Amino acid sequence: MTWQRGHDRIRDLLDNGELEQVPASETAARQLLADAGRHLASAHLAANSGDLGGAYQLAYDAFRKSALSLLAAQGLRATSKGGHIAVQDAVGAQFGNSVTAFRDFSRIRRARNTFEYPSGEIVATPDQDDVADAVAAARRARDAAVTILDQKVLTPWS
């Protein structure tokens, strides 16, 4: 039996080549969560040293890896076609209605893109409040992913 929440959306992402099946791995999931934890610690250090852009990027990566951990536990991963949006869609479809921590993924991803990919002569940069918000959102996502994995409710996709 597979995790049922978001089943139709996951099937669409697989059928469209935005996600692919891989061997389910709690070990990989836990490694991603460990990475997320290190990224959060590094984001704090970067923010304190004045590297707000780097801090925001690290917070976003912590958020994304927390989401990826849930997919890894199910034997799913994004393809280059689906990328970060496929991760956001998959986790949102499965957990967005019940786990509020993942509702911020889209907002944090879009802001990160604004900071990372300038669209004109003025380069947007995050301020301290932006970084604090992203770090807090990433920490909530990591904590939620840990709780979900600890509950052993996820099963390999089938």
What is the per-residue pLDDT for 119? 79
What is the per-residue pLDDT for 117? 85
What is the per-residue pLDDT for 5? 77
What is the per-residue pLDDT for 1? 35
133 pLDDT band (50/70/90 cuts)?
very high
- Rounded average pLDDT over 29-56: 97
Does the predicted model carry a pTM greater than 0.85? yes
Is 90 exceeded by the pLDDT of residue 123? Answer: no
Domain range list for the chain:
23-150
Is 80 exceeded by the pLDDT of residue 90? Answer: yes
pLDDT digits (tens, 9 = 90+) for 49-86: 999 999 999 999 999 999 999 999 999 999 999 888 99
CATH of 23-150, one of 3.30.379.10, 3.40.50.300, 3.60.15.10, 1.20.120.330: 1.20.120.330
pLDDT digits (tens, 9 = 90+) for 99-115: 878 888 889 998 998 88
Enumerate long-range contacts of 6-13, CB under 8 Å, 24 or more apart: 6/90, 6/92, 6/93, 6/94, 6/95, 9/89, 9/90, 9/93, 9/94, 10/76, 10/90, 10/93, 10/94, 10/157, 13/82, 13/86, 13/89, 13/90
